[in-house]
Chain A
Amino acid sequence: MQANAVAVIQEYKEKSRKRFLLIIIGLCICAVSFISDILIGPSWLTLSETITAIFQREIVPVTTKVIVWTLRMPAALMALGVGASLGIAGASIQTILDNPLASPYTLGISAGAGFGAALAVVFGGFLSEIIGTSLVPIYAFTFSILTCMLIYFMGRFRNLAPETMLLCGLGLSFLFQSLQSLLQYISSPEALQSIVFWLFGSLAKADWFTVAIIYVVLLVIVPLILADAWKLTALKLGDEKASSLGVNVEKLRIKIFILISLLTSFAVCFVGVIGFIGLAGPHVARILVGEDQRFFIPLSAVFGAAILSLASVISKLVSHGAMLPIGIVTGLIGVPFYFSLIFRSQKRYLK
């Protein structure tokens, strides 16, 4: 018994170290994937060319510089940033709604964005001549924020009860999908094509400006979520227990929901609907480190980033010369990997 008592603290510290190491490993996977994402494409670069182009951009030929800095790097960074955003958003939504099936996708936030994008394509008209190509992201962003607000205000009727918010989100998801189908039905063939392509999700339109927005949003929001890591962990014990431990449950839920709404809306408005990351990133993280949010949230981000970045690499490998839409690849490649983890895991993580 004595030996046990001494070992208890050691064990906890050892576990924390291992979890930290997992985050580092995840980051290494992201780095490798990021480099591969840059060197793979219609014209392949060598590893040394890529690295030189990244770190000593003055000494490489102009074409290499353009390929790396103008074409591929923004898309590669976008994959990591959006993946991380969706991973964190999924993890936090699952925690505040206490449901492992919740994600930006199942809550209808993506469907809202999809409807907004379709609206911009079909009825953009003269507005698109003034604002140009950014009309679609602006509409997508507006409608995904609108969806979040609807979920929030409907939830308020029942004291922000998790199940109410989840069910409202599901309802809104169907509503916006129907509206979007309606738009597709009445739109011209050209408009239909651009709506469908937007819905597939694509990193191809990423540029330095949109990348900067995604990373600034991440830099502002992630520390705000992590500051409440312990409170979110306590919330996993249930509202009543968290409340009796001193957590202001309602305030925490509102704050995190607002932060997630922003994170998700910025992520989906630039790249389109990518459904799987917000569900899979957190699940992989949960299987590996449990639900101590100090590790769970960062690892969800890291895995979200890694999955989307690897999907981007694979999308370029399977279709030579062109890029298969990223939304298609994440599902096709991710789901088998996801199933294998679910069946191998000994832990029970669905209620």
Chain B
Amino acid sequence: MIEISKLSFGYKGYMSNKILNEINMTAYPGEITAIIGANGIGKSTILKNICGLLKGSGDIKICGKNINDYSRKELASHISYLSQDTFSSALLSVFEVVLLGRVARLANNVSDDELVLVRDVLCRLNLEKYASRNIGELSGGQRQLVFIAQALLKNPKVLIMDEPTSNLDLYYQFQIMNLLKELTVTEQFTTLVSLHQLDLVARFTDKVIVLNDGCVYDYGMPEKILTAKTFRDVYRMNTEIVNKCGAAYVIPISQYKDL
């Protein structure tokens, strides 16, 4: 479980212009919670604050304990984080990169159990044929899958993914979201993702947090949140909502002109 109360944050030199202003939010185990909002509104900033990569003011609790009371290593054993940036110039194979998901626990001699774990997660994402390829030789989408595999390797309590589907084709967007859904339910992960694909939000997530102007604009089930009014206020878009296959689909109509 992730509980955030009164989180405020401003990047260095812009303290007067806070990007997050006393944010309160909660994400529950067994559910996928999505954060949506316009570019630069602070979605990644929230996620990085939860992982301890950025430090703002306010309280963030993971599994009931304040993140400042965890050591770096303890926090990492609870949280798996997928960064938006999947570029890597390292001369490491796909297998090695995924294995690093357990870096805090690896001994000098890697045990057979860990090798099996790596193989299983590679197979799960159809990456086994690339196992010995260099990470730098893969396409952007493939690299994203590799880092998703790395995040899944350590079986965390909290899964935080910053735009996990941004570089993926249609098939893998569904594959990843299905996998996240399945793992979230069976392993009782608390899963928090930032997403731009609204159809995926409608179809796969349990709760949605809408960010606007440094505050939580709205919070709730997707069907309640994904309305034409939300998109006009947050994305400045005129839209039409169509219900199909049990989920709401957003059809963009035109840019909203504020008069």
Q: Which residues of A contact B (CB under 8 A)?
A: 1, 4-5, 8-9, 11-13, 15, 226, 229-231, 233-234, 236-238, 240-248, 286, 290-292, 294, 347-349, 351
CB of B116 within 8 A of CB of A349, answer: no
Contacts of A286 in B (CB 8 A): 91
Q: State the B residues within 8 Å of A (CB).
A: 51-53, 72-73, 75-77, 79, 81, 83, 85, 88-93, 95-97, 100-101, 103-104, 106, 108, 112, 115-116, 118-119, 122-123, 128-129, 131-132, 134, 136, 147
The secondary-structure label for the interface of chain B is helix
Q: CB-nearest residue of chain B relative to A12?
A: B95
- The residue on A at minimum CB distance from B102 is A245
In the complex where A8-B119, A12-B95 touch, is A244 in contact with B81 (Cβ < 8 A)? yes
Pair A244/B132 contact, Cβ less than 8 Å: no
Q: With a CB–CB cut-off of 8 A, which chain A residues contact B73?
A: 246, 248
CB contacts (< 8 Å) of A351 on chain B: these are: 89
Collect the chain A residues with CB atoms within 8 Å of residue B131's CB. Answer: 8, 11-12
Contacts of B85 in A (CB 8 A): 238, 240
CB of B89 within 8 A of CB of A246, answer no
- A-B pairs, top 5 by smallest CB distance, nearest first, are A246-B76, A246-B104, A236-B90, A244-B81, A290-B91
Q: List 8 A-B contacts (CB under 8 A).
A: A12-B131, A230-B103, A231-B103, A233-B96, A237-B100, A242-B103, A247-B72, A290-B92
Which residue of B75, B103, B108, B129 contacts A294 across the interface (Cβ within 8 Å)? B108
**Cα separation A1 to B128 with both chains bound (whole Å):** 8
Contact of A246 with B128 in the complex, beta carbons under 8 Å? no
Are A291 and B90 in contact, CB atoms less than 8 angstroms apart? Answer: yes
Nearest-neighbour CB distance to chain A for B33, whole angstroms, equals 19
Asked if A237 and B77 make an inter-chain contact with CB atoms under 8 angstroms apart, the answer reads: no
How far, in angstroms, from A9 to B90 measured CA to CA in the complex?
21
Residue of B nearest to A251 (CB): B72
The answer to whether residues A247 and B103 also contact, given A1-B128, A8-B131, A15-B132 and a CB cut-off of 8 A, is yes
Q: Given the interface contacts A231-B103, A291-B90, A294-B108, does A12 sit within 8 Å of B115 by beta carbon?
A: yes
Contact at A5–B83, with CB atoms within 8 Å? Answer: no
Complex-state Cα separation, A291 to B101, whole angstroms: 16
Q: How far is the CB of A94 from chain B (nearest CB, A)?
A: 11
Nearest chain A residue, comparing its CB with the CB of B119: A8
B83 touches A12 (CB 8 A): no
Q: Within 8 Å CB of A234, what residues of B?
A: 100, 103
Are A348's CB and B92's CB within 8 A? Answer: no
Cβ-neighbour of B103 out of A12, A240, A246, A348 (below 8 A): A246
Given contacts A238-B88, A240-B83, A247-B103, contact A229 B108 (CB under 8 A): yes
> Are B132's CB and A237's CB within 8 A?
no
> With A and B bound together, what is the CA distance between A291 and B88 in angstroms?
12
One of A8, A230, A291 near B106 (C-beta < 8 A): A230
Contacts of B75 in A (CB 8 A): 246
Is there an interface contact between A233 and B103, defined as CB atoms closer than 8 Å? yes
Smallest beta-carbon distance B57→chain A, Å:
19
Per the bound structure, the CA–CA distance linking A247 and B52 in Å amounts to: 12
Tell me if A9 and B88 are in contact (CB < 8 A).
no
Whole-angstrom distance between the alpha carbons of A234 and B104 in the complex?
A: 10
Assembly CA distance A237 to B93 (angstroms): 12
User: How far, in angstroms, from A5 to B147 measured CA to CA in the complex?
Assistant: 19
Given contacts A4-B129, A12-B131, A245-B100, contact A292 B92 (CB under 8 A): yes
Interface centre among A9, A12, A245 (most CB of B within 10 A): A245
Residue of B nearest to A233 (CB): B100
